[in-house]
Structure 1
Amino acid sequence: MSTAARNGWWAGPIPTVVVPLAVGAFTVVGTFRAAEDQPFARPLDALGVALLLMGAAALVVRHRHPAAALGTAAVAAWVYLALAYPYGPVFLAGLVALCSAVLSGHRRSAYLLTGAAFVALLVLHLLRYPGEPPPLFGAGGWLSSLAVVIAVCEWWRARRERLAQVQLAQEEAERRRSSEERLQIARDLHDSLGHHVSLINVQAGVALHLMDDDPEQARSALAAIKASSGELLREMRATLGVLRGVDEGPPRAPVAGLARLDDLLAENRAAGLPVDLEVTGPRRDLPPSVDQAAYRIVQESLTNVRKHAGPTARATVLLGYADDGVSIRIDDDGRGVPASAEPGGGSGLPGMRERATALGGTLSAGPRPGGGFRVEARLPAPDRAPSTGVSPQA
């Protein structure tokens, strides 16, 4: 919200002077015109004009000192009337000061000063006309006018506060979305780096071990390293390009999803991890967020299997398609070391759980019956439209 909006009506440097000048000019001209019909009033001289301008001049500080501006305008009007000068728009400066005080949040002082000024004017009238009855009709009219002015000011103040709250909520939602996007990018980078670096490490070990005895196998391992490092660079460029906004055209490589599951399983098999795939239910298109989360969960789970399950472990990936979502289960028959036991407190398992939770799903992980480790997730994805006929390849 701008400074002018926070400070209230007309808070800029130019309006701060323009409004008092306009109020002063209107008050003086209007009072001179009204004095023509008041022959028994005191002629409007320099002192009277000075008192009228005094109230208008107090409006210059109405934003910094709203109570002082209102009090000064009220005192100037009371002295003006006490000297028997003619009636006119002498209360205009006080009304503007009242509105500024209410809109700036100084409601209590504004109402106290306004009440005191009203009582003082009523006492002044009784002192000037002691033989007349109290001016109940006139006082009621002034009270009604004040009530209308106050009601309008309160409505405007409440409206401004609602608009400010809406804007703050929008800014907070934008910050939350940005934070969630950064967290999503961090998860993607973690999963991609963990998966590909792990593959590169395994294949590099194979190449070094077979460099002299089996050059052909070592060459295959080096080719796998090149392919995995190239894929890692492409994924990092695509992910970081979202932050930098430099990608002008559509991505050349497919977005991570279950359509790339065969490639993922092939990479793990080439790295020495036997992986089987089982699919239940008719395959169907999933929302992009669910499709990517499912792929990342499988990717990170297999990375953890390679790290913790041992060299002889096998893994099985089970995908279950249903009308209301997709279930994912990754089993291995290794040592059963949980992903949370990663050196340095790895974020693989918490990241997978956060992915599932963000989509309204669930994820559990732990030792499975018979030995080994199991990661099981359920991601909701209601089938709201008929299948397009293009099924993601597992």
Structure 2
Amino acid sequence: MSHRPPPTPVDWLISLAVLLFGVAEELGGRSMDLSRRPLWWLGVVAAAAILVLVRQRAPFTALAVYASINTPLTAYYGEISAAWQFYVHLLLLFTLLGVVPLKDRRAVAGLAATAVLCLVLLFMASSMVTAGDVAVLLVMSSIAGGAGVAVRHHRHVALQAQERGELLAREAVTEERFRIARELHDVVAHSVSVMVMQAGAARLMLHPDQAVEREALNVVEETGREAVEELRLMVGLLRTGPENDGLAPQPNLTRLDELVEQMRAAGLDVRLTIEGTPVPLPAGLNLSAYRIVQEALTNTLRHAGPTASEVKVSYRSRMLCLDILDEGPRDGRAPGAEGTGHGLVGMRERVALFHGRLAAGPRPGGGYGVSVSLPLSGRITVVT
């Protein structure tokens, strides 16, 4: 089974422990009659240790090989059967049931081999066997098999949880990208429409003898109209509801006061600070900056509840910086996972779109902070 991982250090330790335990028991002697317990049993111990070492790569093969060797030998040398033989069998059974379901024929064969070994042990020691001995065999076999089944179940649940988490993360990224595309579509369509209108106005101002210029502006107008129509056709596939009709004006940083008032009405004590001189921003960047602040404040309200928060917008020479900080929950409850929701996914996508930088996480003094840097000219290629 080549898809199985190679032996780990733990596998090597377990194999070494089996080897030492088996050798010690064989040399120590459960019987002084060495003529019935020849020294070649040490070779069987070594073989068992090797099977234990590779049990993860071939669990059924290891159990089948061991049972086909150990059970006949146990039947022949049953009166001085060593404990290590039974323990190794249970370990191999545990490993097998930890990777194959009970309905699998390999699991059924492994359980049948265990039952045969128990019957052989009871039969060979029938003159001395007690109810307690039978109970010990049944309990130990049940524990080994049940533990294997439980391990497989938990592995399956953990794998499902991991796959579901990855699927939700991919869906969140896709959803946020669609949302950004829907919003930026209106921005781009508006800009192109303005270009078309300006080209049309310039064409009407031309002199009659400027035929070449008039034809060039005609081409610009027609190309612009086609571009707007293509945008609407493509992005129209992303429309998911009547709220995306493109008629409502897209928000921007000039409307942060309205956003702050909404958050205050919801119970969040927000303080807004503007540093530097506001400058005209590209429509897409302006919209994305507003959405980043909105997502950060929404996360604060959702995870920290009514608390104090600060929004600082800094206009620098070549950078727009956004800092959204909060003081954490006021009611003493544990803070939520503010950095794990879809809001952070959306912020990362928007920051990456404009080649900016994002840092989000708990603050040393308590609370949570989101810091964003968006270049106003040039590009920053480091995206975190």
The two structures have a TM-score, normalised by structure 1, of 0.50
Aligned residue in 2 for 1:119 = 116
Q: Please tell me whether residue 148 in structure 1 is matched to residue 143 in structure 2.
A: yes
User: Who is 1:47 aligned against?
Assistant: 40
Quick check: 1:102–1:153 contact (8 Å CA) kept in 2?
Answer: yes
Q: CA deviation at 1:62?
A: 2.2
1:75 and 2:92 are equivalent in the alignment: no
Distance 1:57 1:343, change over 3 A: closer
Q: Partners of 2:101 and 2:92 in 1: how far apart?
A: 11
**Which of residues 243, 256, 272 is equivalent to 1:363?**
243
> 8 Å contact 1:52–1:76 — kept in the other structure?
no
Cα contact 1:34–1:86 (8 A) shared by 2: no
- Is contact 2:7-2:53 (8 Å) kept? no
Check whether the contact 2:181–2:235 (CA below 8 A) recurs between aligned residues.
Answer: no
One-letter amino acid matched to 2:233: G
Distance 2:202 2:234 in 1: 29
CA contact (8 A) 2:15 2:53 kept: no
- 1:73-115 Cα shifts (integer Å, max 9, x gaps): 2233223323325423222322221122112225442343233
TM-fit CA distance, 1:197: 0.7
Distance 2:39 2:191 in 1: 89
Q: Which has the larger radius of gyration?
A: 1
* Alignment check: 8 A CA contact 1:62 1:69 kept: yes
Contact 1:191–1:348, Cα closer than 8 Å, also in 2: no
The within-5 A match list for 1:166-185 is 166-185=161-180
Structure 1 equivalent of residue 187 of structure 2: 192
Change (3 A) 1:74 1:204: same
Gap change, CA 1:42 and 1:145, over 3 Å in 2: farther
TM-score, reference length from structure 2: 0.51
In structure 2, the residue matched to 1:336 is: none
Shift of 1:17: 6.5
Identify the match of residue 233 of structure 2 among 346, 362, 369.
346
- How far did residue 32 of structure 1 move? 2.8
Distance in 2 separating the partners of 1:387 and 1:119: 73
1:1-394 aligned within 5 A: 7=4, 11-15=5-9, 18-19=12-13, 21-32=15-26, 35=29, 37-40=30-33, 44-84=37-77, 85-107=80-102, 108=104, 109-123=106-120, 125-126=122-123, 128=124, 132=127, 135-212=130-207, 346-347=233-234, 351=238, 353-354=239-240, 357=241, 362-363=242-243, 384-385=266-267
Q: 1:157 to 1:30 in 2, by over 3 A?
A: farther
Deviation at 1:209?
A: 0.8
Q: Structure 1: how far apart are the matches of 2:63 and 2:110?
A: 7
Greater mean alpha carbon deviation, residues 154-163 or residues 66-75: 154-163
Cα deviation for residue 165 of structure 1 reads 1.8
Deviations 1:276-301 (A, max 9, x none): xxxxxxxxxxxxxxxxxxxxxxxxxx
In structure 1, C-alpha distance between the alignment counterparts of 2:19 and 2:71, rounded to whole Å: 19
Residue 23 of structure 1, CA deviation: 4.3
Q: 1:68 to 1:182 in 2, by over 3 A?
A: same
Provide the rounded CA distance (Å) in 2 between the counterparts of 1:82 and 1:163. 41
Matched residue SS, 1:96: helix
Q: Which amino acid aligns with 1:346?
A: L
Contact 2:71/2:120 (8 A) holds in 1: no
Q: For 1:78, what is the secondary structure of its paired residue?
A: helix
Distance 1:364 1:172 in 2: 26
Q: Write the letter of the residue equivalent to 1:141.
A: V
Q: Find the aligned partners of 1:203 and 1:55 in 2 and give their Cα distance.
A: 86
Q: 1:114 to 1:50 in 2, by over 3 A?
A: farther
The answer to whether the 8 Å contact 1:77/1:90 transfers is: yes
The structure-2 alpha-carbon separation of the partners of 1:15 and 1:91, relative to structure 1 and needing over 3 Å to count, comes to: farther
Aligned residue pairs, count = 245
Secondary structure in 1 matching 2:243: strand
Q: Deviations over 1:154-187 (max 9, x none)?
A: 2222222222222112111111122123223332
- CA positional deviation for 1:200: 0.4
Q: Mark the runs of 5 or more structure 2 residues left unpaired by the alignment.
A: 209-216, 218-223, 250-261, 273-384
- Cα 1:160–1:95 change in 2 (3 A) is same
Residue 110 of structure 2 aligns to which amino acid in structure 1? L
Given that 2:118 and 2:137 are in contact with CA atoms closer than 8 Å, whether structure 1 keeps it comes out as no
Which residue in 2 is equivalent to 1:300?
none
Which residue type is aligned with residue 177 of structure 1? A
Aligned residue for 1:46, secondary structure, equals coil
Question: Whole-Å Cα distance in 2 between the matches of residues 42 and 206 of structure 1?
Answer: 112
User: Secondary structure at the residue paired with 2:151?
Assistant: helix
CA distance in 1, matches of 2:54, 2:270: 68
CA distance in 1, matches of 2:235, 2:101: 54
Residues 204 and 153 of structure 1, relative CA distance in 2, 3 Å threshold: same
Query: Unaligned stretches of 5+ in structure 1?
Result: 214-221, 223-305, 308-340, 366-373
Post-superposition shift, 1:204?
Answer: 0.9
